[in-house]
Amino acid sequence: MRAAGTAEPNPLVGCVIERGGEVLGIGHHHRFGGLHAEREALANCTDRGLSPRGATAHVTLEPCCHTGKQPPCTEALIAAGIARVVYARPDPGELSGGGAKILREAGIDVVLDESDPVARGLSEPFVQQLDTGRPWVIAKWAQTVDGRIATRTGQSQWISGELSRGRVHRLRARVDAILTGLGTVIADDPMLTARGVRRVRRTATRVVVDHHLDTPLNCRLVTSARETPSLIACDSAMASSELTTAKRAALADRGVEVMGVPGGREGLHHIDLAQLLKQLSARGCSTVMVEAGPGMLGSLFEANLVDEAWVYVAPLLLGDEQAPGAARGRAVPALEGGRPLRLVHTRRLGDDVELWYRRGG
Ligand SMILES: NC(=O)c1ccc[n+]([C@@H]2O[C@H](COP(=O)([O-])OP(=O)(O)OC[C@H]3O[C@@H](n4cnc5c(N)ncnc54)[C@H](OP(=O)(O)O)[C@@H]3O)[C@@H](O)[C@H]2O)c1
């Protein structure tokens, strides 16, 4: 997890080399283009004056067997005399996958052990992007104890406390894109930048879903687009229509990119969000954080596109049925129709609680 924001589009991978329960070396893949976890862990053994010969390498993803920016990990493990490799997830990559077979052929005892959700989960975003062509989508919202994300008048700043907001800034500093809806742009005029963060690992492109190009030219996402990239995802017809020529020119003048996306559900003037995500992926985007209101979040949950959720629960109760919840627009007569989530971690942040979920079911 320490490499989140520096390793992508490569997977997050960790490795521990151990013999008889004694840890000889540990390592992880720090950054894209850098040493892979296995080589880091082997180097760590050497640095500590310990030989990995005959030891077991526990690695969260099947060791790679191809030369990319680094030589194959399989070669390093074989050369070091590793006797056993336990890995938590097969690598489905066309080029990188298949390392287990090569290790077995070299006489190493190789075991796939999928029992630990943490070890398996580490490379889930990478595997999903290979499988679906979509980046990993992390939804974030702050809510009251009774699940409201704003008052009935649309006020949401600030439901959560300072510590929670600091965590959100750190999360922003390690994703490739931050997605929001036009409703949030109009209500909150957010900047969606990472502020007060010691190390900004990557600068996220701010993406506004705005089917008819109604984003105000004086909103902060537009006026700051020369410093931090902003992109408006609109209906593909709007992206080329003569009706929007002047608006598109005004946006381009301010450094805002307009990207057309084909329509989604008929009659709703909505764009196809899965297609939008694929287009972002094709531009090199591995992780997308969603900081939107219930309209956009509802659409994403409806399309089953949310992989992870970070929920900040503040010690406040509104008790107002007109105050919006986290997502809307879905019709769910039975509990089975809800989107199951799996609780990964909880953390107390002052008087708030951070809940970290992944897609469940
Ligand atoms: N507490 C928090 O963490 C938090 C975070 C962000 C915002 N908020 C609050 O949320 C409120 C705003 O909520 P909201 O629902 O209006 O804003 P939103 O979710 O940011 O944006 C809603 C807009 O997105 C459009 N949309 C949804 N799915 C779409 C799709 N597939 N294609 C194209 N457009 C799509 C909707 O169009 P249609 O109307 O046509 O469906 C609507 O115009 C504000 O009060 C804000 O303060 C709270």
Task: Give the pLDDT score at 68.
Answer: 86
Report the nearest-CA residue for atom 16 of ligand 1: 183
Write down the pLDDT at residue 95.
Answer: 81
What's residue 49's pLDDT?
A: 97
CATH number at residue 31: 3.40.140.10
Residue 357: φ, ψ to 5°:
-120, 155
* Percent helix, percent strand, percent coil in the chain, to nearest 5: 30, 25, 50
Which position among 18, 38, 302, 308 bears the catalytic label?
38
**Domain check: are 164 and 109 in the same one?**
no
**Residues 201, 226: Cα–Cα separation, whole Å:** 19
Number of neighbouring beta carbons within 10 Å of residue 251: 21
Distance CA 254, CA 219 (A): 11
**Domain assignment of residue 293, given as a range:** 133-359
pLDDT at 72 over 80: yes
Instruction: Please check whether residues 113 and 156 belong to one and the same domain.
Output: no
Let me know if 166 is exposed, middle or buried by CB neighbors in 10 A (0-12, 13-18, 19+).
middle
Going from the Cα of 256 to the center of ligand 1, the distance in angstroms, rounded, reads: 20
Whether the CB-CB separation of 132 and 275 falls below 8 Å is answered with: no
Measured between alpha carbons, how far is 135 from 138 in angstroms, rounded to an integer?
A: 10
Residue 144: both structure tokens together = 């009251």
Of 140, 143, 149, 172, the residue with max ligand 1 atoms within 8 A of its CB, to mutate for a pocket test, comes to: 149
Instruction: With respect to residue 255, please indicate whether it lies within any of the assigned structural domains.
Output: yes
For residues 206 and 352, state if they share a domain.
Answer: yes
Tell me the best of 178, 184, 299 to mutate to test the pocket of ligand 1, counting ligand atoms within 8 Å of each CB and taking the most. 184
Among residues 127, 143, 168, the one where a domain terminates is: 127
Contacts of 103 (CB under 8 A, 6+ apart): 63, 74, 77, 78, 85, 110
Q: Identify whether residues 85 and 154 lie together within a single domain.
A: no
Task: Report the pLDDT value the prediction gives residue 267, as an integer from 0 to 100.
Answer: 62
Asked whether residue 96 carries a pLDDT value surpassing 70, the answer given is yes
Spacing, Cα 297 to ligand 1 middle (Å): 7
pTM: 0.95
For the segment 205-224, the average pLDDT, to the nearest whole number, is: 97
Of residues 84 and 267, more confidently modeled: 84
Same domain, 73 and 215: no
Check pocket membership of 325 for ligand 1, CB cut-off 6 A.
no
- Determine, yes or no, domain membership for 9: no
The encoded tokens of residue 210 equal 């705005």
Is the same domain home to 77 and 146? no
Nearest to 158 by CA among 312, 340, 342, 323: 312
| 227 has a pLDDT exceeding 70 | yes
178 in any annotated domain: yes
Is 266 designated active site? no
The domain spanning residue 232 has which CATH number? 3.40.430.10
Measured from the Cα of 312, ligand 1's closest atom is 3
Same domain, 70 and 160: no
How far is it, in rounded angstroms, from Cα 48 to Cα 45? Answer: 5
Share of the chain above pLDDT 90, in %: 94
- Under 8 Å between Cβ of 273 and 299: yes
**122-149 mean pLDDT:** 97
The pLDDT value recorded for residue 140 is 98
* CA–centroid distance for 37 within its chain: 21
For residue 314, pLDDT beyond 70: yes
Regarding the beta carbon of 139 and ligand 1, being less than 6 Å apart is answered: no
Closest residue by CA, ligand 1 atom 24: 181
CA of 268 to the centre of ligand 1 (A): 14
Centroid of ligand 1 to alpha carbon of 181 (angstroms): 5
Q: Relative to the CA of 265, which ligand 1 atom is closest?
A: 31
So what's the pLDDT on residue 266? Answer: 61
User: pLDDT tier at 97 (50, 70, 90 boundaries)?
Assistant: confident
129 pLDDT band, cuts 50/70/90, is very high
Residue where one domain finishes, among candidates 92, 127, 162: 127
276 lines ligand 1 (CB under 6 A): no
Q: How far is CA 316 from CA 243, 262, 311, in A?
A: 46, 40, 14
Tell me, yes or no, whether 312 lies in a domain: yes
Split at pLDDT 50, 70, 90, the class of 69 is: confident
- From 153, 182, 266, 277, mutation site for ligand 1 pocket: most ligand atoms within 8 A of C-beta: 182
> Could you give the CA distance from residue 281 to residue 211 in angstroms, rounded to a whole number?
20
Q: Is the CB of 273 under 6 A from ligand 1?
A: yes
CA dist 247 and 240 (Å) reads 11
Is the CB–ligand 1 distance for residue 270 below 6 Å?
yes
Distance separating alpha carbons of residues 39 and 315, to the nearest angstrom: 46
Rounded CA separation 58/202 (Å): 29
Closest atom of ligand 1 relative to the 143 alpha carbon? 1
pLDDT in tens, 263-307: 876 666 799 999 999 999 999 999 999 999 999 999 999 999 999
Domain termination site, one of 59, 92, 127: 127
Q: Is 13 within 8 Å of 37 (Cβ atoms)?
A: yes
**Distance in Å from the first CA to the final CA of the chain:** 23
* 3-class DSSP assignment, residue 83: coil
Question: What is the whole-number distance in angstroms between the Cα of residue 318 and the centre of ligand 1?
Answer: 20
201 Cβ contact partners less than 8 Å away, ≥ 6 residues apart = 4, 5, 6, 173, 174
pLDDT (0 to 100) of residue 133: 96
| Token pair in block for residue 143 | 């809510």
Distance 295 CA to ligand 1 centre (A): 4
Number of domains in the chain: 2
Q: Is residue 2 part of a domain?
A: no
